[in-house]
Amino acid sequence: MGGYAYAANDMTLTFPEGIDGHVMSFAALQTSAGEVRDSCEREDTPRFIWNNPNRFPIFNPEATPGSVLNRPEIRLTVDYAEDMDLTRRLYGRLREGFSTYDVLDVLHAQPDWIALNAHCEQRSAAYL
């Protein structure tokens, strides 16, 4: 993993919320499994790693400024009814096998849809 124990692209949000990736080394998982005492860290696998950045090198890849993927204001996750409304609209426009780029193309054509869930707060901000 390029010397990192953990990589996640949502610790500093630059991609749309919900377009997340988390990768941990086996060694980091093995260490955390053996040392975790806190129930929150036991339940949320990477929390022990986040809470010990001096022991585990962490990397947060970010979307390139100005790129089509650099849209942190867009919510593509389902925690609220408003999120589900957007999801249904998107699925109504997309074909099987769509990509994040396809979703963003639809939102580019329907910019008012972004406002449907823009007021919703992310419920699982584990790093905060």
Say if CB 20 and CB 75 are below 8 A apart.
no
Which helix H or strand E contains 128, and what residues bound it?
A: none
In the 8-state DSSP scheme, what is residue 80? Answer: S
Number of Cβ within 10 Å of residue 9's Cβ equals 19
Are 14 and 29 in contact by the 8 Å Cβ rule? The answer is no
State yes or no: pLDDT of 2 exceeds 90: no
Instruction: Say which residue, 44 or 88, is predicted with more confidence.
Output: 88
Residues in the chain, overall count? 128
pTM: 0.83
pLDDT 10s digits, 108-118: 999 999 999 99
Give the tens place of pLDDT for each residue, 69-115: 999 999 999 999 999 999 999 999 999 999 999 999 999 999 999 99
**Longest Cα separation, the chain:** 50
Kindly tell me if the per-residue pLDDT of 127 is higher than 50. Answer: no
Q: Indicate if the pLDDT at residue 128 is higher than 50.
A: no
Give percent of the chain above pLDDT 90: 77
* Residue 65 CB neighbours (<10 A): 7
